[in-house]
Structure 1
Amino acid sequence: MRISVIIPTYNRADKIEKSIESVFSQEGDGELFEITELLVMDDCSTDNTKDMIVKLKEKYPKLSYYKMEVNGGAAKARNYAIKNLIKTEWAALQDSDDIWNLDKLKEMSTYIQKKPDARLYSHWYTALTNENGEVQVGIDEREDYLEELAVRNFIGSPTILVNKKAFCDVGGFDESIKALEDWEFLIRFAYKYKIRVVPKSLMKVDLISEGMSSDIGKYYDARCYIIAKNKEILLERKIFDKAVESLLLSAQKNGVLENVGNILSTYLK
């Protein structure tokens, strides 16, 4: 399997080197799989990201730099890379501040050899939730993940390995949404194509500074949008009520039930 890796970034020159290093240090590269290229999609950074990438290219010849014309967010950068730039049929997504385990792609490749029927593969990840706490985020293996995706997202963007043709067929990421665009995309993808999740944590993700409470309004607005946009899919699969109930219970727990109810009603009109 030949893989293109995509890293969108914005003013992360102080962190992106470790992210890139974790990609090019993958065990089994050239044997079980081949990392053909790593594309850094610069979303109009104002720091020294470009200079750093140019310097790193001396060490990593497969590293490429592309600067977006305007700042449009990670979804736009990923869409452009997959639809227009990558040279392979499979794209692995990475974030500029996350670190892959060294055996991530080896474990995924071994799993794919056993179960090659999916068009998107993911894996569990370990979320850092406070100074000393961490929790594994994942789900048991199953043939259909759409019902669970209706109420929660257990697949983080930097865990995704996706087939280009299938990605383009479902339209890629929604570039209009300001949060949870990976969740919205996964609902549409799971409706049309099979997803497989490796039942093993293969990376750590820092959620300490990116939790829901840091921007609760944006979070709930996005969840309402996701349900409204995918209403027909959820109704067809008889999981619309379940998605709404989960949203409203979460809103009630966080003391914003009335506001969220109004937002959802507006989107559903």
Structure 2
Amino acid sequence: MLVSIITRTKDRLKVLDRAKSSVLGQDYENIEWVLINDGGEDIPSTFFSGLESSLASFVYINVPKSIGMEAASNKAISRSNGELILIHDDDDDLNPKAISEMVTFLENNSVLSGVITNYNYKEECFSDGEWVTVSESEVKTLSSDCLLLIDILKNNIFPPISFMFYRRAYDTIRGYDERLSVLGDWDFNLRFLYCFRVGHLDKNLANYYVRSLNDLSSYSNSVVKDRCKHLRSHEVVINKYISEPASYDFPGLGGALLLEYRNKEQVSLLAEVSKNSISAILSFLSKLWSKVYGKRFKNIR
């Protein structure tokens, strides 16, 4: 079964070699790699050496002017031929057995249209000409065998690199929403889980990298650099499934998202109230202590 690995890149040559090594290092042989340069600097010709001979297929797409992450994904997928698809960001990498393990899992579970895995969350920085891992933690995506829509109503819980899905499912939900500059993967996953079943492969098969909050260059992650945009887009996605035509294609999704969003707000409010209440109680006890025991000490003297 042909697997299409899709990689979007823009002005990040220092990490692109990592993605290349990740793809070429897979023990699964039937891989097509589609690399799309979304309006970034030219990639040196030496980078492409040996790619076509090492893979079942290699496709390079150069977009002169950036079209955005979601449009780049759709464009690259439209040029691919694999029955299975995995979005591999240019700064992440896979365990050498990742593709073969996920393919086998899906072949053995025919009712599923996708699979997610556990992953490592790594924070890194660029020092003395190389990437240095600052911290690392393993993320167990789920405690159950199957991912449900309710699991991601609040927010996305897994990076693209840990998710493999069938092309037929992608076609059914009409791909990524190109209007979204961030949270496009969350929106895609919401629609995917509304329509299809996704299994959980309880193995750590991917590495998801983030850079420091102080790094605002092209190497920073959108989830870090565009945090404010993420918060605004969260409401945009919810509104999309309440008032736009999408609400007719996915009835009930908007209401579920809104309810979860309101619950999240209430939890935050309760936490703040509790915090203030505890502070008030402590302040009262402190004053009471001073009033009672302070007076007693005064009488003793």
Partner of 1:116: 110
Matches of residues 160-199 of structure 1 in structure 2 within 5 Å?
160-199=163-202
Q: Distance between the aligned counterparts of 2:49 and 2:271, measured in 1? A: 49
Q: Distance between the aligned counterparts of 1:253 and 1:38, measured in 2? A: 47
Aligned residue type for 2:74: N
**2:241 counterpart of 1:241:** no
Aligned residue type for 1:113: E
Q: 1:57 aligns with which of 51, 60, 81?
A: 51
Q: Among the aligned pairs, what percent are the same residue?
A: 19
Q: Distance between the aligned counterparts of 2:180 and 2:271, measured in 1? A: 24
Change (3 A) 1:58 1:175: closer
How many angstroms does 1:207 deviate by? 2.5
Partner of 2:7: 7
SS at match of 1:173: coil
Partner of 1:265: none
Partner of 1:226: 237
**2:119 counterpart of 1:125:** yes
Which digits, 9 at most, give the CA deviation of each residue in 1:4-25, with x for residues without a partner? 1111110122221221111121
* Higher radius of gyration, 1 or 2: 2
Q: Distance between the aligned counterparts of 1:124 and 1:185, measured in 2? A: 19
TM-score when scaled to structure 1? Answer: 0.81
Indicate conservation of the 8 Å contact 1:180/1:219, yes or no.
yes
Q: Distance between the aligned counterparts of 1:156 and 1:251, measured in 2? A: 29
How many angstroms does 1:173 deviate by? 1.0
Matches of residues 40-189 of structure 1 in structure 2 within 5 Å?
40-46=35-41, 48-57=42-51, 60=54, 62-82=57-77, 84-129=78-123, 131-143=134-146, 145-189=148-192
Q: Distance between the aligned counterparts of 2:267 and 2:46, measured in 1? A: 46
Change (3 A) 1:38 1:235: same
Change (3 A) 1:212 1:39: closer
Which digits, 9 at most, give the CA deviation of each residue in 1:62-90, with x for residues without a partner? 332111243012211111121x2112222
Q: Distance between the aligned counterparts of 2:265 and 2:6, measured in 1? A: 31
Partner of 2:16: 16
Q: Distance between the aligned counterparts of 2:174 and 2:187, measured in 1? A: 11
Q: Distance between the aligned counterparts of 1:167 and 1:9, measured in 2? A: 21
Runs of 5+ in structure 1 lacking a partner?
255-269
Change (3 A) 1:15 1:105: same
**2:49 counterpart of 1:38:** no
Indicate conservation of the 8 Å contact 1:145/1:195, yes or no.
yes
How many angstroms does 1:136 deviate by? 0.8
Change (3 A) 1:216 1:58: closer
Q: Distance between the aligned counterparts of 1:124 and 1:26, measured in 2? A: 17
How many angstroms does 1:216 deviate by? 2.7
Q: Distance between the aligned counterparts of 1:189 and 1:57, measured in 2? A: 32
Indicate conservation of the 8 Å contact 1:123/1:197, yes or no.
yes
SS at match of 1:132: strand
Indicate conservation of the 8 Å contact 2:40/2:64, yes or no.
no
Aligned residue type for 1:151: K
Which digits, 9 at most, give the CA deviation of each residue in 1:23-68, with x for residues without a partner? 12112x23xxx21x2111110212x415244335366353321112
Q: 1:215 aligns with which of 226, 229, 246?
A: 226
Pairwise CA RMSD of aligned residues? Answer: 2.7
Indicate conservation of the 8 Å contact 1:125/1:203, yes or no.
yes
How many angstroms does 1:96 deviate by? 0.8
How many angstroms does 1:141 deviate by? 2.8
Runs of 5+ in structure 2 lacking a partner?
125-133, 213-220, 273-301
Change (3 A) 1:133 1:26: closer
